[in-house]
A and B are shown apart, each in its own frame.
Chain A
Amino acid sequence: MTSPDAPPAAADAALALRAFALWPAGFGGLWLRGPGPARDALVERLGSAVRLRRMPAHIDGERLHGGIDLAASLAAGRSVSRSGFLEEARGGVVIAPLAERITPALAGSVAQALDHAEPAERFGLVLLDDGAERDEMPPLSLTERVAFACDLGSAAPGDLASTALPAPLASPAEIPACSAAGLEALAAVSLALGVDSGRALRFAALTAGASARLDGRDFVQESDLAAAARLVLAPRATRLPPPPQDDADAEPPPPPPPPPESDADTPGDEEQEDNGTPDPDQLIEAAAAAIPPGLLEALADGRTRRGAGSGGGARHLSPLRGRPLAARQGLPRGGARLALIDTLRAAVPWQALRRTEGETHSGLRIMKDDVRVRRFEARSASVTIFAVDASGSAAFTRLAEAKGAVELLLAQAYVKRTEVALVAFRGQDAQLLLPPTRSLTRARRALTELPGGGGTPLAAGLSMVCTLGTGLARRGYTPLLVLLTDGRGNIALDGSTNRAAATEDALKAGRAIAAAGLAGVVIDISPRPRPEAAAVAAAMRARYVPLPQANATVLSKVIGALA
């Protein structure tokens, strides 16, 4: 495996599938991203070999863990217990459709089952992930515990449907072990790609062995290590491998001759194909070629693998709307609604007792303690608050661009269901030009009418944004602050023209924003990036984006990535 070109996704998926079939409990499972014929073919193939069980994303705790079957118990007059889904799935393979919708709570329980000490008590997990964007993905606690990740979104099914699956191994000892040099190479790849999980290391070593075994060999060679790096390590990469030393040119594909250092102590450079002394650099390259393209973009953006889903704010509990959660004890007041069925269920077990204790009228006896109320989990709407520096220093250079960006974002707001508010500061103080709205026309008008010129009351602008943001957060919105400024405040909070005091006030206001926990981004719109704006960003604990050549499209892209 010396070619940096990754084999087609379907071939890798077939390899992952076969390795998984060798020892489902050891590999944990597969994470299959992107719906399509290739994925269907794979699942179908798997289903013909092992017992598959589907786990709906909305499965409740009772069904998951088992317990007393209330309906059956009442009918039978004795307690009837029912086994839980996790128990029933032992030794088999669980298919989780819509895996990107799995809640952290469900994921926690499943992860625990996957961690069971006895491999025979575990099950394999296949995550079918239909997430459209990079942000929408199954809970990390699950993706972490399955060995393989394959993106099959655009892959042709190839011969996936006819892949010959190996019989499960009787003992994991049948998987060949990696040589010391092989382990070292995998460790080097993991370091280069910033893969920090011990589980990933374990999976990688296991995968290399499984690849050899599938090939009918009892030793691990370089192609096995490359497969492990591609299938296990590359999808977990958190950074790009550093460019290979100094001799790297602008074009990476032609691999440089083996670096002298790493090969100085290993004889026989020529026979890397089969002598088990792999070259980590080539492995890293092979793995880097298999890094999913979206990940690179995310890394280039400086974004991590988490973050709020698009258009959605943070999740919070709501008594009124959203996804239903388990009912809780409580009285239906303050907007909470009665959960009738749960109330009855809470009351039923007590009927026998209450009948013997209380008076003798027939019918259900429901007491205050039985009453349950409904709860929902809602995603709060996010509001992007723009604070635009319309002072003389900023106005003439960039105000028009800032206006354009706000307009573009506003147009997206319809799609992403976010709202936009606009604060401008110039002259002596800050002004709320536009309270949170989705109205395109109003926002446009406010923007067009926004005049420029005058001093820079940066501190006033920041404190207005802070007040607005905390107020919105309290009302259940998730605010995101976008500050467009050059950071050179010259009007202090008290209105006096004093640069030193103005800077101090601005930093203070920035820290107040950080203390309130409001997320934000500072966009430096001065023609040349300046330390002042960076200092304000640091105080706000916000991202700092210098945009010397900003235009409306670039701006809205940066903000769109954060919102």
Chain B
Amino acid sequence: MNRFPFSAIVAQDEMKQALLLAAVDPAIGGVMVFGDRGTGKSTAARALAAILPPITAVEGCRFGCAPPDAGTCPDPCTSKKTAKRAVPFVDLPLGATEDRVIGALDLERALRSGEKRFEPGLLAKAHRGFLYIDEINLLEDHLVDLLLDVAASGENLVEREGLSVRHKAKFVLIGSGNPEEGELRPQLLDRFGLSVEVRTPQTLDARVEIMRRCAAHERDPAAFCAEWAPADAKIVRKIAKGRTRLPSVETPDEVLYDASRLCMACRADGLRGELTLMRAARAQAALEGADTVKRKHVIAVAPMALRHRLRRDVLDETGSTTRIERAVAEVFG
């Protein structure tokens, strides 16, 4: 399959940056992408998943267990062999039922042999990969609750239909939506780690470039992908380096103070803002190849980590990004 290459996406730097951070540290807790249709949201997410190096999993495991975790899934997997598989990318359709998402009784087995067996759902499929939900603001509330809960705990717990099953489900949750078509409840928004706003570039050159690349990709997908393969490979290497570096990145106290002061200055609700800000800053430092987190890393990720946590002020119509920039200027001069 020749998907549109990640590095060939024109502009949209903030979205790409947020996705890279989430790839380096999945614990950041998901990315929410706000924007109109046709701004390359799903293209970027899919492209990133497609270029990541394959993961190693226990052979034949339906839950995608990593080799050290062998036997921890409900099946349980017993194979000593391992196999490579592509990083999972699950595209959750709006109409998905709860059964399909969390898994359900395996009807086939139940009918044929009267055997009680769990049929993994989309959450199991997304383990160690990405779960993408377009128009998350239109998804039924109870499903969004469930997804965020699993994304936060990294575990899917099924207690229904006489089944009692738990399995690992660690994934990067990527939601997208157009706020004008329906808001996401603030409580849910807060649980996303990062949020970015995307818009189609408003310059002539960028638009021409978009059309040119789309046409080239359509004309000959294989050649187009080959052309961009080196750039994609560079990104993959950057992510891999960032991942290995992340555990050793140090966080000095003064940077922690910086983060707290920034959160207070823009009156971000809740502690989650500070925690995510620090995590994202660490990932940013790792991605840049730094050994310690510096103030500039905090500033670089502040808009995407805090934007969706600002309290709504009815009299202040300024956009949240501007408010954060203002706070940055206030705190750090």
**CB <8 Å contact, B138 and A104:** yes
- Which A94-142 residues have C-beta < 8 A from chain B? 103-109, 111-112, 115, 117-118, 140-141
Partner of A511, one of B93, B114, B315: B315
Residues of B within 8 A of A111 (CB): 134
- Which A324-355 residues have C-beta < 8 A from chain B? 326, 328-329, 346, 349-350, 352-353, 355
Partner of A538, one of B98, B115, B218, B315: B315
Task: Indicate whether A206 reaches chain B with its CB closer than 8 angstroms.
Answer: yes
Task: Indicate whether A294 reaches chain B with its CB closer than 8 angstroms.
Answer: no
Contact with A along B1-27 (1 / 0, CB 8 A): 111000000000000000000000000
A173-B219, A187-B211 known; A352-B114 Cβ under 8 A: yes
Contact with A along B201-243 (1 / 0, CB 8 A): 0101001101110110011100000000000000000000000
Partner of A206, one of B2, B100, B112, B218: B218
**CB <8 Å contact, A349 and B218:** no
**CB <8 Å contact, A107 and B37:** no
Residues of B within 8 A of A204 (CB): 211
Tell me, in angstroms, the Cα distance from A141 to B138 when the chains sit together: 12
- Which B18-64 residues have C-beta < 8 A from chain A? 36-40, 42, 46
Partner of B108, one of A79, A198, A206, A209: A79
- Which A189-238 residues have C-beta < 8 A from chain B? 190-191, 196-202, 204-206, 209
Tell me, in angstroms, the Cα distance from A515 to B186 when the chains sit together: 13
Partner of A144, one of B37, B98, B211: B37
For B138, the closest partner residue in chain A by CB is: A104
A109-B93, A144-B37 known; A349-B219 Cβ under 8 A: no
Residues of B within 8 A of A187 (CB): 204, 207-208, 211
A112-B93, A326-B97 known; A353-B207 Cβ under 8 A: no
Q: In the complex, how many angstroms separate the beta carbon of A316 from the nearest chain B beta carbon?
A: 11
**CB <8 Å contact, B212 and A183:** yes
**CB <8 Å contact, B138 and A68:** no
For A510, the closest partner residue in chain B by CB is: B314
**CB <8 Å contact, B215 and A205:** yes
**CB <8 Å contact, A197 and B38:** yes
Task: Indicate whether A472 reaches chain B with its CB closer than 8 angstroms.
Answer: no
How many residues of A are counted as interface, with CB atoms below 8 angstroms from the partner's CB atoms? 69
Residues of B within 8 A of A191 (CB): 202, 204, 207
**CB <8 Å contact, B40 and A198:** yes
Residues of B within 8 A of A106 (CB): 95
**CB <8 Å contact, A141 and B37:** yes
Contact with A along B157-180 (1 / 0, CB 8 A): 000111000000000000000001
Residues of B within 8 A of A313 (CB): none
Task: Indicate whether B105 reaches chain A with its CB closer than 8 angstroms.
Answer: yes
- Which B87-117 residues have C-beta < 8 A from chain A? 91, 93-98, 100, 105, 107-108, 110-116
**CB <8 Å contact, A117 and B315:** no
- Which A411-465 residues have C-beta < 8 A from chain B? none
Residues of A within 8 A of B115 (CB): 353
**CB <8 Å contact, B204 and A349:** no
Residues of A within 8 A of B253 (CB): none
Residues of A within 8 A of B93 (CB): 105, 108-109, 112
Q: In the complex, how many angstroms separate the beta carbon of A63 from the nearest chain B beta carbon?
A: 12
Q: In the complex, how many angstroms separate the beta carbon of A192 from the nearest chain B beta carbon?
A: 11
A117-B3, A197-B37, A346-B161 known; A539-B315 Cβ under 8 A: yes
Task: Indicate whether A22 reaches chain B with its CB closer than 8 angstroms.
Answer: no
**CB <8 Å contact, B200 and A197:** yes
Task: Indicate whether A264 reaches chain B with its CB closer than 8 angstroms.
Answer: no
Task: Indicate whether B190 reaches chain A with its CB closer than 8 angstroms.
Answer: no
**CB <8 Å contact, A115 and B42:** yes
Partner of B114, one of A64, A353, A514: A353
A105-B94, A202-B214, A353-B116 known; A73-B111 Cβ under 8 A: yes
Contact with B along A505-546 (1 / 0, CB 8 A): 000000100110000000000000000000000110100000
- Which B104-162 residues have C-beta < 8 A from chain A? 105, 107-108, 110-116, 134-135, 138, 160-162
Q: In the complex, how many angstroms separate the beta carbon of A224 from the nearest chain B beta carbon?
A: 14
A79-B111, A184-B208 known; A172-B219 Cβ under 8 A: yes
Partner of A350, one of B36, B108, B162: B162
Residues of A within 8 A of B110 (CB): 349-350, 352-353
Partner of B37, one of A77, A140, A367: A140
Residues of A within 8 A of B40 (CB): 198
Partner of A107, one of B46, B94, B113: B94
Residues of B within 8 A of A200 (CB): 38
Task: Indicate whether A356 reaches chain B with its CB closer than 8 angstroms.
Answer: yes
A172-B218, A356-B114 known; A186-B39 Cβ under 8 A: no
Task: Indicate whether A177 reaches chain B with its CB closer than 8 angstroms.
Answer: yes
Task: Indicate whether A178 reaches chain B with its CB closer than 8 angstroms.
Answer: yes
Tell me, in angstroms, the Cα distance from A201 to B36 when the chains sit together: 14
Partner of B91, one of A26, A105, A112, A346: A112
Partner of A352, one of B111, B160, B180: B111
Residues of A within 8 A of B215 (CB): 177-178, 202, 205-206, 209
Residues of A within 8 A of B97 (CB): 61, 326
For A140, the closest partner residue in chain B by CB is: B37
Task: Indicate whether A70 reaches chain B with its CB closer than 8 angstroms.
Answer: yes
Residues of B within 8 A of A329 (CB): 160
Residues of B within 8 A of A180 (CB): 208
Tell me, in angstroms, the Cα distance from A201 to B317 when the chains sit together: 31
Tell me, in angstroms, the Cα distance from A202 to B46 when the chains sit together: 18
Task: Indicate whether B326 reaches chain A with its CB closer than 8 angstroms.
Answer: no
Partner of A173, one of B116, B135, B211, B220: B220
Between B94, B110, B315, the greatest number of chain A beta carbons within 10 A of the residue's beta carbon is seen for B94
Task: Indicate whether A361 reaches chain B with its CB closer than 8 angstroms.
Answer: no
Q: In the complex, how many angstroms separate the beta carbon of B212 from the nearest chain A beta carbon?
A: 6
Between B37, B39, B95, B113, the greatest number of chain A beta carbons within 10 A of the residue's beta carbon is seen for B95
For B12, the closest partner residue in chain A by CB is: A198
Residues of A within 8 A of B91 (CB): 112
**CB <8 Å contact, A369 and B218:** no
Residues of B within 8 A of A107 (CB): 94
Residues of B within 8 A of A300 (CB): none
Partner of A68, one of B107, B113, B317: B107
Task: Indicate whether B84 reaches chain A with its CB closer than 8 angstroms.
Answer: no
- Which B256-301 residues have C-beta < 8 A from chain A? none
Residues of A within 8 A of B46 (CB): 117
**CB <8 Å contact, A188 and B204:** yes
Tell me, in angstroms, the Cα distance from A349 to B317 when the chains sit together: 56
Residues of B within 8 A of A68 (CB): 107-108, 111
Task: Indicate whether A74 reaches chain B with its CB closer than 8 angstroms.
Answer: yes
Contact with A along B67-88 (1 / 0, CB 8 A): 0000000000000000000000
Write 19 A-B pairs (CB below 8 A) sorted by A numbering: A64-B95, A74-B111, A77-B112, A104-B135, A106-B95, A107-B94, A109-B95, A141-B37, A141-B134, A173-B219, A191-B204, A191-B207, A197-B38, A199-B37, A201-B200, A201-B207, A306-B181, A349-B105, A352-B110
Binding site for A on B (CB under 8 A): 1-3, 36-40, 42, 46, 91, 93-98, 100, 105, 107-108, 110-116, 134-135, 138, 160-162, 180-181, 199-200, 202, 204, 207-208, 210-212, 214-215, 218-220, 314-315, 317
The list of the 4 closest CB pairs from A to B, nearest first, reads: A197-B38, A108-B94, A352-B114, A105-B95
